[in-house]
Amino acid sequence: MTSAPAAPTARRNGAGPRRRTELAAFLRSRRERITPEDVGMPPGPRRRTPGLRREEVAQLAGVGVTWYTWLEQGRPINASTQVLDAVARTLRLDGAEREHLYRLADIPDAAVEEHAETLPEDVQAILDALVPMPAAVANARSDILAWNAAYAAIFPHVVRARPCERNTLWMVFTLPPCCNPVANLEKAAPDHVAVFRHRYSRHLDEPGWKDLVRRLQAASPMFARLWASHDVALPGPTVKLFRHRAVGEIRTRTTSMDITASPNARLVVYTPTDEESRDRIGRLLADPGVAEPDHRH
């Protein structure tokens, strides 16, 4: 995402030293409340300060250490919605905290987005209870917020991705053929884009949505071509065919259900449509090593 910081630049008139000082203090306070164990990291040697180190936050968020240090020091640097989203997920900010972060970073327009990252505490237990059926929770933008073991077995590249790229559209249009789980991409891609445009129409002014479209257009000629067609479709149950290098094709039917406690969040369940597909998912669950990618890009 961000490997090297941009040079400090002057911000808009609305952001002054007081706002940057508040931003620095807020980020430090959120970082200090999270332990390495909370994010699956070893505790390491004795720590002089509580919580995560700056370099650990940068690593988990997929941003440059120097850039994050400058952000936390309150320097007047440019911060995109995409990068702030990754920092917010890493620091486990709730909706109010996320909006506060955007306003302190002088991106007030982003604060109007409805964020579904804060899920009810029982959602993960529900996902786990659905195994062996793959299931995940996504927001309207197709960011994956939670998942179960069966979903992870079919889509290992999604759950291992950096938070800013943990998105089904990004997976569909940027993974190379050797690792792309969508078996019938040419047939399925138009529907993916048409349904996304239907949702996009409700979020035209939101920076996170516009940023995702810009990145997809730059990364995928197929997406750019389909996006330019302006086709629109309503979401609904669909048959989806996936391919896994270890077990072959898996045919499923999707069912989506809104999670009323989290605006824009939906539970997506992939029901195998035949015994072969059910057996293949079972093989992946029985031997997690088989489900792991055999190479990385």
pTM listed for this prediction: 0.64
Per-residue model confidence as pLDDT tens for the chain (297 residues) = 444 444 444 344 444 677 888 888 999 999 998 888 777 777 666 666 678 889 999 988 888 999 999 998 888 888 787 788 889 888 988 777 887 888 888 775 554 444 445 788 899 999 999 999 999 999 999 999 999 999 999 999 888 887 778 999 999 999 998 889 999 899 999 999 999 999 988 887 777 888 899 999 999 999 999 999 999 998 888 899 999 989 999 999 999 999 988 878 999 999 999 999 999 999 999 988 777 776 676
CATH class of 17-112: mainly alpha
How far is 57 from 89, CA to CA, in rounded Å? 10
Of 182, 194, 287, nearest in space to 241 by CA: 182
How far is 173 from 233, CA to CA, in rounded Å? 18
How far is 72 from 24, CA to CA, in rounded Å? 5
CATH topology identical between 17-112 and 123-291 = no
CATH of domain 123-291: 3.30.450.180
Please, which residues have CB within 8 angstroms of residue 150's CB and are 6 or more apart in sequence?
Answer: 130, 131, 132, 133, 134, 135, 270, 281, 284, 285
Sorted by where each begins, the domain ranges of the chain are 17-112, 123-291
How far is 50 from 61, CA to CA, in rounded Å? 19
